[in-house]
Chains A and B, each alone.
Chain A
Amino acid sequence: MRKARLKLVVGVGAIAAALLYLGVTGARDGWVYYLSVDEYASRPETQGARSRVHGTVGPGATADPIAFGARFDLRGQARVIRVEYRGAVPDLFAEGREVVVEGTTDEAGTFVADVLLTKCGSKYEPAGAGG
């Protein structure tokens, strides 16, 4: 009986350890900060990590649909970050639009994004048939 219990404890322990390992490594891989430009710029610890940053497109933004990319300044209340986006440029991308970008900062200090979402300018209630 004692042996059976020992087996059980060892088994459960091993499984728990495996689950914990999965969870921790998974969380590390999937970890994405959600920040405003000001928060992002003022928190050095988030800059190496993948982040989703929202702000407003500043003046002088260049979108190059042919090369599937855009370069622009993303402005917050007080801070600005330089963004280089690679991918299909949304139609509504323009100076003054609110956008969300997702990516990481490279060595040169540019935020390299592979996701660019223009915040919904439509007059809809953000509706979805959900479920």
Chain B
Amino acid sequence: MRQQVRAGRGGRVTRWIGESGLVLAAGMAAVGVLAGLMTRGRGRGAGLIRAAAWGQLTGLALALGTLMSAFVRDDLGMRAVALHSERGLPVAYKVAAVWAGQEGSLLLWAFLLAGVGAIGAVRPGRGAPAALAGAVLAALGLFFAAILLMVADPFAPNPRPEIENGVGLNPMLQHWAMVVHPPTLFLGYACSAGPFALAIGGLVTGELGPGLFAVMRRWALASWVFLTGGILLGAWWAYVELGWGGYWAWDPVENASLMPWLAVTGLLHALLVTRERGSLRGWGAGLACLAFSLCVLGTTLTRSGLLVSVHAFGATTVGVYLLGLLVVLGGGSVGLLWARRGTLRSGPGIGGLLGRDGAVVVLHLLLCAMLVATLVGTLFPVVSGLLLGQQVSLGAPYYNRVVGSLGLAGACVMAVGPALGYGEGGAGAVRRVLVLPGALALAAGTAALIQGITHSASLVCIAIATVTPGVIGLRFADTVRSRRGPGEGWPGAAWGTLCAHRRRYGGQLAHAGLCLLLLGVCGSGLYSAREHCTIGRGEEVEVRGYRIAYGELTELRGANYSAMEARLRATDARGAVGELRPQRRYYDRAMDPMGEVAVWRRAGGDLYVVLAWWSPGGERAGFVVVINPLVVWVWVGGGVMAAGGFLAWLPLGRRGANNEGSAPAELASGAWGVAPSDGVTEP
């Protein structure tokens, strides 16, 4: 009894501290908005915006810290803790439980957004666009702080005191990937607010100079790396936790993370061309607005209950506000872009579709088409309900066909794009440049056909995975050759080239990673096999080249669950042996048992086993066995992509320092340098 009273008082203090943090954040955000709009960065304005941004971050850090500590301390007087955590939960999952609920995840979102605002906050002398960008970020912060204070209170008291030990965290979320996936993805979302705010600042003031785009690029790269990592972690989680044998199901929530990724990918390529040539500024500004709007859409889809999904939260009023924000963002961006269409067009045009910039435009069109197709598919149940009076959803075959085909076309552009020069190549030059990739593709395709691979998509994948590194390697060799000084060794010249063009080769590393990912997707998507088998204890069965022996069934106890575990021994065609221990877990606080899959991973493919049932005493047990060729390359390729993006982002070297330092001067002059041709751009 006494303990309960104490908990109640502690709850009030927690609530008071947390809400003070939110109030501080809201107040500081309001100061930031006013300072940005009124001073436009002149005089003390920049310092004020900066201080307000850090103040906002401090307030949200206080709120988030308070909520986290309430979860870790099992403060069950709070609604969020009682509904998403339990006493027996391991500490890492208690932290993860903070963002398992709607309020907590909105608070995390707001905190990360404030972090972007504070780190990217305007420095004195950066000019009006950057000051306005600060105001835009502060306004977004104000919006989220207001929502948290008025609609989705993370510190609300527990309305059901009968829940003594907490409802518990959904067992599906009790996995390490779910501890890091949401913050990673939200970081990607938050970083995309950087280019968006800068684009709005530039569009409002009409000052769309190279310095602005250079800063946009850094945020876009950070966003891309985190989005890539976040999507990958989500896919990994789905693979090992949902137990159906795949990692991507075109679920609305997955789509909601893919769409911003597509937009940011396009944005990065637009910014590349803008840097080299000064063209595609409209694409850059437009895609920056689109990317962030899609991040808000993603939050809306998962938080509004608009769509039925395994991950989505129930219907709430928050969705309405988010939808309102989305309308403002979308409408505002389109209006601004339209108003500034003259300025955006004023730079150099693209040099025809057969040059590098032309290829980037084609890529943009393909990415946008993928985006629209994904959006149509995601919203189809809602739209069909309204139009046909009948809910229809578009399943995986739709996405695989439409988005998959467009993606393959985009990857083809990626393979040959880097071989093209900037500007009007002329058909002759293009033919000369493309002879080699064509020959490579043909050779690879023929070799694959001889090996008995006939599926058209896999042939295209193999061709892309051959041509891309081929083109990168040849161009690299060319650059090294032209760079090598007299008496300089080849390794030294190669290393020097890599260092001097770090950003370019970071990008190309990402391309190589995408090739690996494509091979993984192709192998696991087209050639995966699924079998059901029942095995007696001590017996062995043969499943598609694997011999699987079932040893025994044991019962074990985890931190907050008990489990049945089957011990299997698999032997592949070459005699390699792997141990597999699939489990069925019964969590203390859940009714539904959870399958814990066992995966034997090798370069050639995964053997994936789910324990489906067992006879009393474990004399016999049934397993779902999935064989997923090449799936490991999805993870490796995705990791390489993120690493490439990170390498390109790293603020190292002369060029990187230059960019940051010279930004104000460039912003002020607003002049575009002479467009240098590829290969001599980065001294």
Residues on A lying within 8 angstroms of B by beta carbon are 19, 22-23, 25-27, 29-35, 50, 52, 65-66, 68, 87-89, 91-92, 118, 120-131
Task: Name the CB-closest residue of B to A90.
Answer: B592
Q: A29-B397, A65-B613 are in contact. Are A120 and B592 (CB under 8 A)?
A: yes
Chain B residues in 8 Å Cβ range of A34: 381, 391-393
What is the CB-to-nearest-CB distance from B462 to chain A, in angstroms, rounded to a whole number?
Answer: 22
The answer to whether A131 and B230 touch (CB under 8 A), given A68-B622, A123-B591, A126-B313, is yes
Q: A129 touches which one: B178, B584, B612, B613 (CB < 8 A)?
A: B178
Rounded to whole Å, the gap between the CB of A102 and the closest CB of chain B is 9
* Apart from A123-B167, A131-B257, A131-B299: 6 A-B pairs, beta carbons within 8 A: A33-B391, A50-B395, A66-B534, A124-B167, A126-B312, A127-B173
Whether A29 pairs with B393 at a CB distance below 8 angstroms is: no
Q: In whole angstroms, how far apart are the Cα atoms of A30 and B591 in the complex?
A: 33
A130 touches B311 (CB 8 A): yes
Interchain nearest-CB distance for A90 vs B (Å): 8
Question: In the complex, which residue of chain B has the Cβ closest to the Cβ of A30?
Answer: B398
Task: Give the nearest-CB partner of B310 in chain A.
Answer: A128
> Which residue of B182, B392, B402 contacts A22 across the interface (Cβ within 8 Å)?
B402
| 18 A–B contacts from the bound complex (CB under 8 Å) | A19-B369, A26-B402, A29-B401, A31-B392, A31-B395, A34-B393, A66-B613, A66-B620, A68-B612, A68-B622, A87-B532, A121-B592, A123-B167, A125-B101, A125-B313, A128-B170, A131-B182, A131-B298
B189 an interface residue at 8 Å Cβ cutoff? yes
A88-B399 in contact (CB<8A): no
Q: Which residues of A contact B167 (CB under 8 A)?
A: 123-124
B99 within 8 A of A: yes
Nearest chain A CB to B651's CB is how many angstroms away? 27
Chain A residues in 8 Å Cβ range of B172: 128
Whether, in the assembled complex, B256 has its beta carbon less than 8 Å from a beta carbon of chain A, the answer is: yes
Would you call B675 an interface residue if the criterion is a C-beta within 8 Å of the partner chain's C-beta atoms?
Answer: no
Asked if A128 and B391 sit within 8 Å, CB to CB, the answer is: no
Choose from A25, A26, A130 the contact partner of B105 (Cβ within 8 Å). Answer: A130
A52 to chain B, nearest CB (A): 7
Q: How far is the CA of A35 from the CA of B393 in the complex (A)?
A: 11
Considering only residues 86-114 of chain B, those with a C-beta below 8 Å from chain A are 96, 99-101, 105
Cross-chain contact B398 with A29 (CB below 8 angstroms): yes
- Asked if B612 and A128 make an inter-chain contact with CB atoms under 8 angstroms apart, the answer reads no
Residues of the A chain whose Cβ atoms lie less than 8 Å from the Cβ of B394:
26-27, 30-32
Residues of B close to A22: CB separation below 8 A: 401-402, 405-406
Instruction: Evaluate contact between A91 and B592: CB separation under 8 angstroms.
Output: yes
Q: Tell me if A's interface is mostly helix, strand, loop or mixed.
A: loop
Instruction: Please determine whether B181 and A129 come into contact, CB atoms closer than 8 angstroms.
Output: yes
| Interface presence of B442 (CB below 8 A) | no
Closest-CB distance, B559 to chain A (whole angstroms): 18
Against A, the Cβ 8 Å flags (1 = close, 0 = not) of B289-322 are 0000000001100110000011111100000000
Residues of A near B311 (CB, < 8 A) are: 128-130
Q: Which residues of A contact B313 (CB under 8 A)?
A: 125-128, 130
Bound complex: CA of A86 vs CA of B300, how far in Å? 36
Is B593 engaged at the interface, CB distance under 8 Å to the other chain? Answer: yes
B89 to chain A, nearest CB (A): 14
Question: B610 in the interface, Cβ–Cβ < 8 Å?
Answer: yes
Q: Are A52 and B393 also in contact (CB < 8 A) when A92-B592, A128-B313 are?
A: yes
Residues of the A chain whose Cβ atoms lie less than 8 Å from the Cβ of B610: 88
Q: Given that A23-B373, A34-B381, A124-B167 are contacting pairs, would A130 and B398 also be in contact in the complex, using a CB cutoff of 8 Å?
A: no
Closest B residue to A52 by beta carbon equals: B393
| Distance, CA A27 to CA B376, complexed state (A) | 10
Our pick among B173, B189, B397, B612 for the contact of A26 (Cβ within 8 Å) is B397
Chain A neighbourhood of B185, CB < 8 A: 131
Residues of B near A120 (CB, < 8 A) are 592
Verify if B327 is at the interface (C-beta below 8 Å from A): no
Chain A residues near B613: list those with CB within 8 A.
65-66, 88-89
Q: Check if B303 sits within 8 Å of A126, measured CB to CB.
A: no
* Cβ contacts under 8 Å, A122 to chain B: 170, 590-592
B373 and A130 within 8 A (CB): no
A130-B592 in contact given A68-B612, A125-B314 (Cβ < 8 Å): no
Which residues from chain A contact B303 at a C-beta distance below 8 Å?
Answer: 130
Of chain B, the residue at the smallest CB distance from A25 is B401
Q: Is the CB of A124 within 8 A of B590?
A: yes
- Cα distance, A122 to B587, chains bound together (Å): 11
Q: Which of B390, B398, B622 contacts A65 (CB 8 A)?
A: B622
Assembled-state Cα–Cα distance A92/B592 (Å):
7
State the CA gap A121–B592 with chains docked (Å): 7
Whether, in the assembled complex, B186 has its beta carbon less than 8 Å from a beta carbon of chain A, the answer is yes
Q: Does B396 contact A (CB under 8 A)?
A: yes
Given contacts A88-B532, A91-B592, A122-B590, contact A131 B253 (CB under 8 A): yes
Residue of chain A at shortest CB distance from B308: A34
Closest 6 pairs between A and B when the two form their complex, measured CB to CB: A30-B398, A128-B311, A29-B397, A130-B302, A26-B401, A34-B391
Q: Which residues of A contact B532 (CB under 8 A)?
A: 68, 87-88
Q: B105 touching A129 by the CB < 8 A rule? A: yes
Q: Judge if B84 is at the interface, Cβ distance under 8 Å.
A: yes
Residues of B within 8 A of A131 (CB): 105, 181-182, 185-186, 189, 230, 234, 253, 256-257, 298-299, 302
Binary flags per residue of B227-256, CB closer than 8 Å to A gives 1, else 0: 000100010000000000000000001001
> What is the distance, in angstroms, from A10's C-beta to the closest C-beta of chain B?
14
B624 within 8 A of A: yes
Please give me the residue from chain A that is nearest to B163 by CB atom: A123
State in angstroms the CA–CA spacing of A32 and B308 once bound together: 14
CA–CA, A20 to B356, complex, Å? 27
In angstroms, how far is the closest chain B Cβ from the Cβ of A93?
Answer: 11
Is the beta-carbon distance between B253 and A130 smaller than 8 angstroms? yes
